[in-house]
């Protein structure tokens, strides 16, 4: 089988697929509260289009599909998307990143359709702070969503938290304590320059080292060996079995082990979260002058081309770094 290998020898096995740029929260580090610059509806890939692209990707060595957004559970056909990916001949492992709000009604159906596990985002345990951080009063729905994911055995339930200085950084220890008590697999993610408001400040970022130091004041952290291509550095907490992950995307990039490609909801391949260029496949998918075989061959070629163009690193720490024009919500986190 052909593989997606770049000029640095990295083999790509993971495809992050954004199914929508819409979201039912307005997390301050992701989207301004009055954000209105949505993708045109007819640019979003249909289920058939998504499945064709994902099938071609699996024929080229992609073994894991992570569905994301925006908020992927806002897509009314999300269960069908999962089911159809699961029915593909090469059956990639399917996971999903969500804010959890709609999981109560959907977790069991998603599991039955073939979803393996979920990552749920939650930055605070304080209802009022949640409202301030997301501009929506949905804290209870997220907690209920996490419980629904556990009940549906979408395991392990990973909970992702972004800490912000002076906003929620005092919650590092309570979040970990709560996560351990409730069987969540907690991971802290450094805040990245991907907000639609361009408000990210390096000096304000709570770094992985600072998170580690805060946690070590309360817990003993021991590195879990064999990280592979995973973005999180995992630690046993007080000897285990509980663990905590720290994702140092900015302060300690892990680009040399990166095996990820991305597909935006409007059909653009991105070879890096921070890429400034995209490879358009929507026009190929919709080109009616092509036969199915020609179309699929073109899609495969564009995946290979985008992979070959991948840079050695994301460049966030380069003095000439320019933030991508698309915010995280439109790229797919």
Ligand X SMILES: C[S@@+](CC[C@H](N)C(=O)[O-])C[C@H]1O[C@@H](n2cnc3c(N)ncnc32)[C@H](O)[C@@H]1O
Burial of 258 (0-12, 13-18, 19+ CB in 10 A): buried
Structural tokens at position 67: 């569905």
By the rule CB under 6 A, 264 interacts with ligand X: no
263 vs 284, which CB is nearer to ligand X? 263
Q: Which is nearer to ligand X, 99 or 243 (CB)?
A: 99
Nearest CA-CA partner of 120 in 176, 68, 193? 68
Q: Taking CB under 6 A as the rule, does residue 267 contact ligand X? A: no
Instruction: Kindly state the smallest distance separating residue 189's Cβ from ligand X, in Å.
Output: 5
Handedness of CA 63, 240, 221, 225 (dihedral sign): negative
E strand or H helix at 17: strand 14-18
Q: Pick the closer one to ligand X by CB: 135 or 300.
A: 135
Least distance from C-beta 112 to ligand X, angstroms? 21
| 292-331 residues near ligand X, rule: CB under 6 A | 328-329
Closest approach, Cβ 319 to ligand X, in A, equals 20
DSSP codes, 145-174: HHHHHHHTT--S-EEEEE-BTTTTGGGHHH
For ligand X, the binding residue among 20, 28, 58, 121 (CB under 6 A) is 121
Q: What are phi and psi of 18, to 5 degrees?
A: -85, 130
98 belongs to the binding site for ligand X (CB under 6 A): yes
State the burial class of residue 14 (Cβ atoms within 10 Å of its Cβ: 0-12, 13-18, 19+): buried
Contact pick of 58, 160, 268, 271 for ligand X (by CB under 6 A): 160
Can you give the binding site for ligand X, defined by CB under 6 A? 23, 29-30, 68-69, 71, 97-99, 121, 160, 162, 189, 191-192, 194-195, 328-329, 333
């Amino acid at each position: 089988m052909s593989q997606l290998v770049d000029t640095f020898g990295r083999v790509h096995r993971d495809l992050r697929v954004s199914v929508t740029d819409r979201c039912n929260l307005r997390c301050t580090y992701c989207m301004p509260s009055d954000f209105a610059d949505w993708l045109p509806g007819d640019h979003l890939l249909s289920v058939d289009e998504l499945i064709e692209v994902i099938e071609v990707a699996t024929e080229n060595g992609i073994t894991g599909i992570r569905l994301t957004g925006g908020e992927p559970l806002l897509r009314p056909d999300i269960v069908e998307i999962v089911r159809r990916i699961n029915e593909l001949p090469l059956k990639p492992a399917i996971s999903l990143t969500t804010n959890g709000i709609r999981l109560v009604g959907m977790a069991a159906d998603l599991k039955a359709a073939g979803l393996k596990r979920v990552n749920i985002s939650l930055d605070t345990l304080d209802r009022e702070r949640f409202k301030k951080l997301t501009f929506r009063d949905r804290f209870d729905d997220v907690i209920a969503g996490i419980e629904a994911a556990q009940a549906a055995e979408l395991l392990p339930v990973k909970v992702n938290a972004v800490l912000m200085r002076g906003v929620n950084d005092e919650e590092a220890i309570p979040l970990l304590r709560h996560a351990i008590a409730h069987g969540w697999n907690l991971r802290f993610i450094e805040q990245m320059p991907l907000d639609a408001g361009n408000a990210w400040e390096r000096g304000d970022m709570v770094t992985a080292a600072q998170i580690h130091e805060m946690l070590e004041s309360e817990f003993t952290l021991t590195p879990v060996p064999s990280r592979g291509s995973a973005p999180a550095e995992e630690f046993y907490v007080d000897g285990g079995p509980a663990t905590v992950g720290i994702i140092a995307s900015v302060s300690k990039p892990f680009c040399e082990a990166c095996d990820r490609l991305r597909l935006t909801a409007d059909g653009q391949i991105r070879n890096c979260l921070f890429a400034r260029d995209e490879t358009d496949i929507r026009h190929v998918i919709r080109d009616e002058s092509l036969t199915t075989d020609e179309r699929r061959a073109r899609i495969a070629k564009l995946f290979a081309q985008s992979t070959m163009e991948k840079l050695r690193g994301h460049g966030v720490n380069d003095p000439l770094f320019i933030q991508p024009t698309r915010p995280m919500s439109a790229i797919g986190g």
